[in-house]
Amino acid sequence: MSSDKPDPARGWLHVEKLLANEEIEEVDALDDEALAAAFRARGRDADMLTTVGALMARAAAIAAQKARAPVPVVPPRRRLAEWVVWLIAAAVALAAIVAVVVYVNAPPREIGRAADPARYRAAALAACRAHRWDDCASALDVARDLNPPGESDPAVKEARAAIAAATVPAPSASAPERRTPP
């Protein structure tokens, strides 16, 4: 499928190529003084121009200098050993962080002090005076587990009796009475 229309992009590329060739021919026709004057006319620094011979000489000098300089010998690095060291350090750091988090979030403990049954009995008697019978009974049970001889205390006996009296279910009014036949 060929088109009869000319392609503008190809036309511009051809024009640019012709202009570039024309500029190259103009530059080739100039001597060094005329080339420097053309650069100055365009606002360029003509002193920064170097000739091909100067560039070649500079490249040869750099190559000779590098050939004379000794190449440092670097021993091969032990990458595996470095990774192992880093992994061990990371594991130790992670273990330390976990230990700190566990320690901070642990419930408080009373170290060196046993639970005091007298304290539980005092709390139980206070709960009994406030008619909180479940709290009173549970605190008395804990005190009994810690110190069974403390159950002989008269205050504890009175509290147990009050709990028993308060927690006895009352007879239901809707339940029919049982009559015994005469």
Residues 37, 41, 43: CA angle, nearest 5 degrees? 115
Query: CB burial class (10 A; 0-12, 13-18, 19+) of residue 72?
Result: exposed
**Alpha carbon 155 to chain centroid distance?**
59
**pLDDT confidence of residue 181:** 56
**What's the CA gap between 83 and 94, in Å, rounded?**
16
pLDDT of residue 63: 84
DSSP the chain: ---SS--HHHHHHHHHHHHHHHHHHHHHHS-HHHHHHHHHHTT--GGG---HHHHHHHHHHHHHHHHHSPPPP-PPP-HHHHHHHHHHHHHHHHHHHHHHHHHHHSPP---S----HHHHHHHHHHHHHTT-HHHHHHHHHHHHHH-GGGGGSHHHHHHHHHHHHHHSPPPPTTSPPP----
Q: What is the pLDDT of residue 141?
A: 92
Q: What pLDDT does 28 receive?
A: 77
Cα-Cα-Cα-Cα torsion 98, 101, 104, 106, nearest 10 degrees, comes to -70
Q: Which residues contact 137 (CB under 8 A, 6 or more apart)?
A: 124, 163
Give the pLDDT of the chain (182 residues) as one tens digit per residue.
556 777 888 877 877 887 777 777 877 787 878 877 887 888 777 666 666 777 788 888 888 887 776 777 777 766 777 888 899 999 999 999 999 999 888 877 666 566 788 888 899 999 999 989 899 999 999 889 888 888 888 999 999 999 988 887 766 555 555 555 55
Q: What pLDDT is recorded for position 92?
A: 96
Q: Is the dihedral of CA 140, 142, 145, 146 positive or negative?
A: negative
